[in-house]
């Protein structure tokens, strides 16, 4: 099997796993990954993560020209913004995951550090997550907001919408966005219960030991 075919299968397999575990639903969410030649494979618009067809993924050349496949997701500005500002980005995933969306609606959330420091894993896999304001779905302004971060964040949370995460490859991006949703779930479960957070010293130890990209 060619590298392109393997990547197509991997995108669809991981997307189906996210869908089957309820991390996105219906025809929500979108996913993209760099091909070995520098192009992009992208989930088509209006498709379900549970039923993606490897042969129908939108395919772009390295110069951004559409090659073949179905029409891409309307959230392409989000994806291209991450690829253009983060040289390490090999894949981007956007979900409509329930707990992270719920947390984005809560008062008192820090827009510069969306996830509370409940476990080391959110820090290790995501760094600091930026909470962006609400945009209409498909609004190119979302891409402009990501570009405004100048590549300093691997993950953002779109208020009242869903998380977007870039990773070195499609598996890493999916693992990271799952960690974002799981940390948000913990935050919602413990909200108002005064849970013990990681101390500043403990957070710094995690950042140092695991060489976390931590925009300050």
Is residue 60 annotated as a catalytic residue, yes or no? no
DSSP H stretches of helix in the chain: 3-20, 76-85, 98-104, 120-126, 141-147, 170-190, 200-209
Backbone angles phi, psi at 214, to 5 degrees: -125, 100
Strand partners, 156: 130, 164
d(C-alpha 174, C-alpha 21), whole Å: 13
Comparing CA positions, the residue from 34, 50, 45 lying closest to residue 70 is: 45
Spell out the residues 6+ positions from residue 193 whose beta carbon is closer than 8 angstroms to its own. Answer: none
**Which position among 75, 178, 179, 181 bears the catalytic label?**
75
Q: What's the burial of 213, exposed, middle or buried (CB within 10 Å: 0-12/13-18/19+)?
A: middle
**Which position among 84, 121, 171, 213 bears the catalytic label?**
121
List residues with catalytic annotation: 75, 121
């Amino acid at each position: 099997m060619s590298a392109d075919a393997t990547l197509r299968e991997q995108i669809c397999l991981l997307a189906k796993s996210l869908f089957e575990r309820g991390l996105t639903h219906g025809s929500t969410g979108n996913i993209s990954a760099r091909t070995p030649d520098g192009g992009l494979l992208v989930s088509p618009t209006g498709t379900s993560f549970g039923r993606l067809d490897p042969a129908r993924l939108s395919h772009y050349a390295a110069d951004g020209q559409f090659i073949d496949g179905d029409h891409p997701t309307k959230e392409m500005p989000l994806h291209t913004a991450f690829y253009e500002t983060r040289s390490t980005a090999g894949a981007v995933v956007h979900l409509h995951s329930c707990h992270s969306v719920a947390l984005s609606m809560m008062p008192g959330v820090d827009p510069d550090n969306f996830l509370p420091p409940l476990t080391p894993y959110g820090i290790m896999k995501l760094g600091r997550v930026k909470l962006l304001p609400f945009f209409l779905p498909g609004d190119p302004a979302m891409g402009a907001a990501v570009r405004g971060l100048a590549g300093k964040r691997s993950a953002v949370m779109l208020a009242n919408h869903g998380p977007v995460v870039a990773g070195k490859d499609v598996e890493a991006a999916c693992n990271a966005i799952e960690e974002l949703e799981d940390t948000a779930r913990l935050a919602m479960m413990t909200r108002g219960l005064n849970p013990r957070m990681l101390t500043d010293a403990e957070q710094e130890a995690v950042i140092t030991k695991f060489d976390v990209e931590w925009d300050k």
